[in-house]
Chain A
Amino acid sequence: MLVDAGPGESGGKVVSYLRSQGVSTVDVIVATHPHEDHIGGMVDVLNNFNVGLYVDNGVTHTTSTYENLVNKLVDDQTPYAEVKAGKTIPFATGILISVISPTSISGDMNEDSIILKITDGTQTILLTGDSSLTPGDVQAQILKVPHHGSKHSSDSSYYRQVNPEVAVICVGRGNDFGHPSAQVIDNIEKAGASLFRTDNDGTVVISTDGNSWQVESSGMSSSSSKPSFQPIYQRTISPTPKPTQKSYTPFVAPVIVQPASAFVQNSQSSGSAPCNCAGPDLDCKDFSTRREAQACFDYCKSNGYGDCFRMDGDKDGKVCESKK
């Protein structure tokens, strides 16, 4: 399911990201409301994926962005549904997607946004579009902060009601509008939630198994002018009792082939593995001594890899016997 597609200039990024995740069909698209910064990328998505169902709140707009989207949905005859509060959106078994707003259309496009409450086991995610409303029980572990964290989007009472453990602000870097506001950030921090913002954190990925959650973010290169999902750093957090301290973990670089002796050195000094049993391939000449090779063999064998480097040709449990 895709909820909103960002502005027109981000359509390509959304498509690239979905492709990078192996997505070929989007079962459900939800457009929270028809502002350009939420539906601008939709036509790109519809052009590139099979879409099972398109959902919005029925509010129309007069922009070319909206008109082009309607024309695309009509041309493709994509199944289309309008929803209001009280509806549920069919999705995977065990995951309840409830529309909790709008109850009726007020004429304020932001406040008329579809608010989705997604429940998986004990975990709840609140996706708010640009609406600052709090209809009914809005408690959620994960919150997509309303309206890009704009000045009047969410006061301290909002965060008392939602009581999020993680708050994510979707906002463009260096935008013209001053989003997010310092007051909203302060409200989030005072509520004890961990804050992620896409202008600083890049792509934010939230995972849940229904019992717990994990949030990962990958910063994007600020020097690259091309859309990129290559992580510069990673930041990962999991539930702890209301985390108050956040740390940035430096990005772990791709596995670099190292001579086996380096692993042995690590093993002696820090107790880590004597070699990498999953590869790359090693043979006796990669080890300085027979003892190092034996340590690697014993380690891999005890961890279920067997003689993964085929160093025990005579199957006697002793490797590289010609080596000192």
Chain B
Amino acid sequence: MEIASEWMEIKTERFVKVKSKLKILASQKDYMKVTVDRKEGDFFVMVPATGEKFNLPVSQYPNLKEGDVLDISESEISSATEEAKARINNARKGLNKIDL
């Protein structure tokens, strides 16, 4: 999986912080996907694929932005954003669209 360049700056210790939170939430899973839902004040609100949302301080993760999907494994943080966009856009094709 390609590592997004903007995340290369995420320091190892910060990565561990993120991962440790997700490890708790993910329980037995080897990895976790989590999305930046929004910036709220001084925090990013993070929504994992499963489990409870949590906040990350913006100051520690200046390169994150709304909509980023992080795929966090033992060894790396990679981007799953494009994959999520494609999947969701595909799902939206099944919407029962009407015009008002």
Q: Please count how many residues in chain A sit with their CB below 8 Å of the partner chain's CB atoms.
A: 37
From A63, A83, A178, residue with most partner B Cβ within 10 Å: A63
Interface string of A54-87 (1 = CB under 8 A from B): 0100001111111100110110011111110001
Question: With a CB–CB cut-off of 8 A, which chain A residues contact B67?
Answer: 61-62
Question: With a CB–CB cut-off of 8 A, which chain B residues contact A78?
Answer: 96
Q: B35's contact among A64, A70, A88, by CB below 8 Å, is which? A: A64
Interface string of B35-52 (1 = CB under 8 A from A): 101101111010111100
Q: B47's contact among A36, A60, A80, A81, by CB below 8 Å, is which? A: A36
Q: B84's contact among A62, A178, A179, by CB below 8 Å, is which? A: A62
Q: Does B81 contact A (CB under 8 A)?
A: yes
Looking at chain B's contact residues, is the secondary structure mostly helix, strand, loop, or mixed? mixed
The answer to whether B47 touches A63, judged by C-beta atoms less than 8 angstroms apart, is yes
Determine the residue in chain A with the shortest Cβ distance to B51. A64
Q: Does A151 contact B (CB under 8 A)?
A: yes
Which residues of B69-100 are within 8 A (CB) of A?
69, 81, 84-85, 87-89, 91-92, 94-100
Q: How far is the CA of A66 from the CA of B95 in the complex (A)?
A: 13
The answer to whether A70 touches B99, judged by C-beta atoms less than 8 angstroms apart, is no
The answer to whether B48 touches A64, judged by C-beta atoms less than 8 angstroms apart, is yes
Q: How far is the CA of A35 from the CA of B92 in the complex (A)?
A: 17
Q: A80's contact among B35, B91, B95, by CB below 8 Å, is which? A: B95
Question: With a CB–CB cut-off of 8 A, which chain A residues contact B89?
Answer: 60
Determine the residue in chain B with the shortest Cβ distance to A107. B66
Q: How far is the CB of A113 from chain B (nearest CB, A)?
A: 12
Question: With a CB–CB cut-off of 8 A, which chain A residues contact B91?
Answer: 67, 70-71, 74
The answer to whether B100 touches A81, judged by C-beta atoms less than 8 angstroms apart, is yes
Q: Does A128 contact B (CB under 8 A)?
A: no
The answer to whether A81 touches B97, judged by C-beta atoms less than 8 angstroms apart, is yes
Q: Does A89 contact B (CB under 8 A)?
A: yes
Q: How far is the CA of A64 from the CA of B88 in the complex (A)?
A: 10
Q: A62's contact among B35, B41, B48, B55, by CB below 8 Å, is which? A: B35
Q: How far is the CA of A55 from the CA of B100 in the complex (A)?
A: 10
Q: Please count how many residues in chain B sit with their CB below 8 Å of the partner chain's CB atoms.
A: 34
Q: How far is the CB of B60 from chain A (nearest CB, A)?
A: 15
The answer to whether A89 touches B100, judged by C-beta atoms less than 8 angstroms apart, is yes
The answer to whether A60 touches B41, judged by C-beta atoms less than 8 angstroms apart, is no
Q: With A61-B37, A65-B47, A177-B43 known to touch, is A70 a contact of B92 (CB < 8 Å)? A: yes
Q: Does B23 contact A (CB under 8 A)?
A: no
The answer to whether B97 touches A70, judged by C-beta atoms less than 8 angstroms apart, is no
Q: How far is the CB of A39 from chain B (nearest CB, A)?
A: 10
From A8, A62, A65, residue with most partner B Cβ within 10 Å: A62
Question: With a CB–CB cut-off of 8 A, which chain B residues contact A70?
Answer: 88, 91-92, 95
Q: How far is the CB of B2 from chain A (nearest CB, A)?
A: 16
The answer to whether B98 touches A62, judged by C-beta atoms less than 8 angstroms apart, is no
The answer to whether A74 touches B94, judged by C-beta atoms less than 8 angstroms apart, is yes
Q: How far is the CA of A244 from the CA of B58 in the complex (A)?
A: 39
Determine the residue in chain A with the shortest Cβ distance to B39. A110
The answer to whether A36 touches B38, judged by C-beta atoms less than 8 angstroms apart, is yes
Determine the residue in chain A with the shortest Cβ distance to B45. A36
Question: With a CB–CB cut-off of 8 A, which chain B residues contact A178?
Answer: 41
Q: How far is the CA of A61 from the CA of B81 in the complex (A)?
A: 10
Q: With A150-B41, A176-B43, A178-B41 known to touch, is A67 a contact of B99 (CB < 8 Å)? A: no
12 further contact pairs, Cβ within 8 A, besides A8-B53, A70-B88: A36-B37, A37-B38, A61-B35, A64-B47, A64-B48, A65-B47, A66-B88, A79-B98, A81-B99, A109-B38, A150-B41, A177-B41
* CB pairs A–B below 8 angstroms (18 shown): A36-B38, A53-B98, A60-B92, A63-B37, A64-B35, A64-B48, A65-B47, A66-B88, A67-B87, A67-B88, A70-B91, A74-B91, A77-B96, A80-B95, A88-B100, A109-B66, A177-B41, A178-B41
Smallest CB-CB A-B distances: 8 pairs? A177-B41, A74-B94, A62-B84, A63-B35, A77-B96, A63-B47, A36-B37, A177-B40
